[in-house]
Amino acid sequence: MQIKHLTDNDVIQWNEFVAEEPLFGLLQSWEWGEFKKELGWKVFRIAVNNDRGCIIAGAQMLIKPLPSGLASMAYIPRGPIGNWLDKELAEKLIPELQRIVHLYKTAFLTIEPPLLCSKEVEQQIQQLGFRPSRYTNQPNATIVINIDQTLDDILLQMRKKTRQYIRSAVREGITIRAGSQEDLPAYYELMRATGHRNHFPARSQEYYERQWQIFSKSSNCILLMAFLQDQLLAVRAIYCFGKHAAEFHAGSLPHNSNLHPNYLLVWEAIQWAKVQGCSTYDLWGIPTEVGNIVSEGNYPPTIKRMDGLWGVYQFKSGFSKNIISYVGAYDYVFQPRLYSLLSNRFVRGDTLDRAMTWMDSIRWK
């Protein structure tokens, strides 16, 4: 086995490796790294190859210096991937990641591997020197719909009310169309308003525009927009990679109980994903507490809460009962004092998400 720093000559091999991940792997795709590079991040793609030159583990790591110049942020979104927890592979990959991180005076390295939650996996990660992080950027729990079946069968796995709301949206006169370059400002304004209303950090207009522009070139994304006559009601940005699709961004006008645009949007998105050859559709994010219940072997009871992500959960749970719970985020600490300052209990729980949003908005010469 050997460590290899990937170059542009390795794009196809790396993407084929990432596409074999059992869950949505876009955040480790080559294109995602190129997108982040345009936002000012340094991108490192490190692979472990076997004796035949095939990739068996690896990570796409992002690094960006903080404005103070005293430290940097290092992050591996939905990675490392492959069989990296194998002791022999980990002894190749982790030291190389650490070596790179040291060069950029990084306080700590955050990983969010696409591994299902289990005590055994948690112990393996901690044995490599990582500690559980207080903050996460990607969702710890989500709902994944099996779409590798007929449309009728997909509908049958939904809650009865959800099917009714999909049909109701059509009767209400709601229409869905794919967005284009000209629709991006309206898309951004709806995302900004939704973030302000629901207290989450909306990205910059440039972030949404560049992300759509990069991935729409390869038909890996679609912007679906719901209208009532000429009024834009809701939007959803859907991305696919390999056999998996996921919705990253969703925005809408304040809730109107007489209209159901989001139900129809998800249904149209599922049909688009099937045409792309996807077998799963990831609804991308529900309350972590729900995932914890499921990972302990129980199915969550009916929950009436509507605060935070709970209202989102009520909506998404109508499409499928297949709840996925990840191991979450882990940190490898290089500067203990700075890490202690940044991770104390008085810092907001969504700090990593807000930090990533802020980091994507700043530029370096």
Domain ranges of the chain: 2-138+327-359, 141-325
How far is the C-alpha of 160 from the C-alpha of 304, rounded, in Å? 18
Other CB atoms within a 10 A radius of the CB of residue 125 amount to: 22
Q: Which of 121, 134, 37 is nearest to 80 (CA)?
A: 121
**What are the pLDDT tens digits along the chain (365 aa)?**
899 999 999 999 999 999 999 999 999 999 999 999 999 999 999 999 999 999 999 999 999 987 766 788 899 999 999 999 999 999 999 999 999 999 998 989 999 999 999 999 999 999 999 999 988 889 999 999 999 999 999 999 999 999 999 999 999 999 999 999 999 999 999 999 988 887 777 788 899 999 998 998 888 899 999 999 999 999 999 999 999 999 999 999 987 888 999 999 999 999 999 999 999 999 998 988 887 777 766 666 666 666 666 778 889 999 999 999 999 999 999 989 888 877 765 454 455 555 656 556 555 43
Measured between alpha carbons, how far is 255 from 245 in angstroms, rounded to an integer? 26
The b/e string for 154-164 (b: 16+ C-beta within 10 A; e otherwise) is beeebeeebbe
- Looking at the domain 2-138+327-359, which fold is it? Aminopeptidase (3.40.630)
Structure tokens belonging to residue 299: 């199915």
- Residues 206-233 as b/e (b if ≥16 CB within 10 A, e otherwise) read ebbbbbbebbbeeebbbbbbbebeeebb
Q: 2-138+327-359 and 141-325: same fold?
A: yes
Dihedral of alpha carbons 88, 94, 95, 96, sign: positive
Q: Longest C-alpha distance within the chain, in Å?
A: 61
First to last CA, the chain: 37
pTM (2 d.p.): 0.91
Q: Quick one: which H or E segment has residue 13? A: helix 11-19
Looking at the domain that runs over 141-325, which CATH code has it been given?
3.40.630.30
Helix, strand, coil in percent for the chain, rounding step 5: 40, 25, 35
